[in-house]
Amino acid sequence: MAAAFIDTARISVRAGKGGNGAVAFHREKYVAAGGPDGGDGGAGGDVVLQVDDNMSTLMDFRYKRKYVAENGADGQGSRRNGRGGKALVIRVPRGTLVRDAESNEIIKDMSDGEPFVLCRGGRGGWGNAHFATPTRQVPRFAKAGLDGEAHDVVLELKLLADVGLIGFPNVGKSTLLSVVSKAQPKIANYHFTTLFPNLGVVYVNEETSFVLADIPGIIEGASEGAGLGHDFLRHVDRCRLLVHVVDVSGSEGRDPVADFDAINAELAQWSPELAGRAQIVVANKLDIMADESLLDALRAHVEPLGYPLFALSAASHTGTRELVQAIAEQLAELPPVTVYEATYVPKPPVIEADEPLDIVCEDGTWYVTGRWLERLMGNVNFSDYESRMFFDKTLRDNGVFAQLEEQGVRDGDTVDLYGLQFEYQR
């Protein structure tokens, strides 16, 4: 029994929580009043996506849907900082689109080999050693670590192939793939032999090669969910060139012209842009063709539409080399494989700011704490400019700066928000 081909999956991911800062005091023989020496908590682990070229489906995500990175360790005495949480690396096939589960917007196209941080771990809390001042020499408090980011995402695999083989079931696509590449798809003389896309690398010469994908049989109604084709139409999206294989043998009583039009109609229903993509028509099974008028009718139909036609027999390897050369020549003139741009815009977190803040000034440093502020900081990516602007606006809209000014903050004073320090300017 063939293994299932899984090309969509929904998962929930959460980065690790930052470790808590420690409250500790130096204890050593002959050393009086050693002072606070609590260490900081470690940062929570990130959730990182990484392309794995040994994966061809999203099967690994069929049963496991929740992924949580390691939390940061708590700080300890003697100014020992907690260990950072280990990043959780989630491996995905090349060509996987990562979408926001709620809006369906694209977060990342995993087509390159670079790792992508999907959720950032929470910052570790400061130990009490940070809060010692000349007037507060024995701080008996530390800060808790912040929660890591969390996200529900949909993974969608879109094959990274230069050329897609399309056509009705049993027209010889798998045979053609096996002949022109080193792929070994399952081949038999019955419909829907191919239950999942097969990829093969076609070597034209020492300097030229391309990736060819055998897309499972698309039938009439596929764009509306009929047959298997609907499940795999997405894999044609990236293909720069389509090779439309048509059976002209007449062995199954099919009309090649009707088959050609039916498949193109399904492509147009799925995506008008896809229907207008460059296409080469292959009239296959010449070796068992009983009526040459079928080939003549197909040629007379497709060539006026601007599609080149190659008549061949994949089973007997007749005409396949000429087809490969023509594909390579056309690919040289076409743009590269599509890489989708990110469209996802993170939505600002909903923060209930009705809880009071605690504001304390020590030696020119203003410490601002509060549960809603802690939640806010756990949801802001401070490496992103837009996120920082949102953070500043939220503080301003909820009166944080006004409260500081009421209590006497001055220009140049340091403001500390859970370890994030900045110089105050009106």
| Statement to judge: residues 127 and 3 lie in one domain | yes
Domain finish residue from 142, 158, 174: 158
Same domain, 47 and 121: yes
Residues 126 and 18 both lie in one domain: yes
Q: How far is CA 343 from CA 100, 106, 222, 381, 419, in A?
A: 10, 5, 28, 18, 32
Q: Are 165 and 212 in contact, with CB atoms under 8 Å apart?
A: yes
198-203: strand order across its sheet: 198-203, 209-214, 163-166, 241-247, 279-284, 309-311
Same domain, 251 and 266: yes
pLDDT greater at residue 266 or residue 101:
101
Tell me which residue has tokens 């061809």. 56
* Interatomic CA distance for residues 190 and 324, integer angstroms: 26
Choose from 23-37, 208-222, 249-263 the range with maximum mean pLDDT: 249-263
Closest CA to 245 of 174, 162, 194, 158: 174
What pTM, to 2 d.p., does this model score?
Answer: 0.75
Question: Is pLDDT at 144 greater than 60 in this prediction?
Answer: yes
**58-69, pLDDT tens digit by residue?**
988 988 999 999
- Cβ–Cβ < 8 Å for 275, 267: yes
Q: Is 345 left (phi over 0), alpha (psi -120 to 50) or beta?
A: beta
- What does DSSP assign to residue 246? E
Give a yes or no: residue 34 inside a domain.
yes
The domain that holds 173 is classified in CATH as 3.40.50.300
Same domain, 108 and 176: no
Q: Of 119, 143, 158, which marks where a domain is finished?
A: 158
Q: Per residue in 197-254, pLDDT tens?
A: 778 889 998 889 999 988 875 655 544 544 444 566 777 888 999 999 999 998 888 8
Strand partners, 362: 365
| 336 part of a folded domain | no
Q: Are residues 143 and 170 in the same domain?
A: no
Tell me: pLDDT of 141 over 90. Answer: no
Q: Of all helices (H) and strands (E), which one includes residue 294? A: helix 292-302
Host domain of residue 290 = 163-331
Residue 411 exposed, middle or buried by CB count within 10 Å (0-12, 13-18, 19+): exposed
Same-domain check for residues 130 and 107: yes
Domain membership flag for residue 338? no
Task: Specify whether 75 is located in the same domain as 192.
Answer: no
Same domain? For 322 and 424 the reply is no
Residue 319 domain flag: yes
Residue 340 lies in a domain: no
Residues 152 and 178 in one domain: no
Residue 339 lies in a domain: no
- CATH code where residue 130 lies: 2.70.210.12
Q: Is residue 186 assigned to a domain?
A: yes
Length of the chain: 426
pLDDT over 90 percentage in the chain: 46
Same domain for 207 and 175? Answer: yes
Nearest to 146 by CA among 368, 367, 380: 380
